[in-house]
Chain A
Amino acid sequence: GAGVSQSPRYKVAKRGQDVALRCDPISGHVSLFWYQQALGQGPEFLTYFQNEAQLDKSGLPSDRFFAERPEGSVSTLKIQRTQQEDSAVYLCASSPTTWAQETQYFGPGTRLLVL
Chain B
Amino acid sequence: AQSVTQLDSHVSVSEGTPVLLRCNYSSSYSPSLFWYVQHPNKGLQLLLKYTSAATLVKGINGFEAEFKKSETSFHLTKPSAHMSDAAEYFCVVSDPHTDKLIFGTGTRLQVFP
Contacts and interface: CB of A to CB of B under 8 A. Distances in A.
Contacts, number: 64
A42 B89 CA distance: 9
B94 interface: yes
A95 B104 CA distance: 20
Q: How large is the interface on B (under 10, 10 to 19, 20 to 34, 35 or more residues)?
A: 20 to 34
Interface in A94-110: 95, 98-109
B105 interface: yes
Contact of B90 (A33, A42, A98, A108): A42
Nearest to A55: B98
Nearest to B42: A108
B103 A101 contact: no
Interface string B20-46: 000000000000101010000111111
A101 B103 CA distance: 15
Given A103-B49, A106-B44, A108-B43, A44 B103 contact: yes
Contacts of A40: 106
Contacts of B43: 3-4, 91, 106-109
B49 A45 contact: no
Interface SS of chain A: loop
B101 A91 contact: no
Contact of B96 (A55, A56, A95, A100): A100
A91 to B, nearest CB: 7
Interface in A64-108: 91, 93, 95, 98-108
Contact of A100 (B32, B44, B45, B105): B32
Contact of B94 (A55, A58, A100): A100
B71 interface: no
11 contacts: A33-B100, A42-B103, A43-B101, A43-B103, A45-B100, A93-B101, A98-B99, A99-B99, A103-B34, A104-B46, A104-B101
Interface of A: 3-4, 31, 33, 35, 40-45, 48, 55-56, 58-59, 91, 93, 95, 98-109
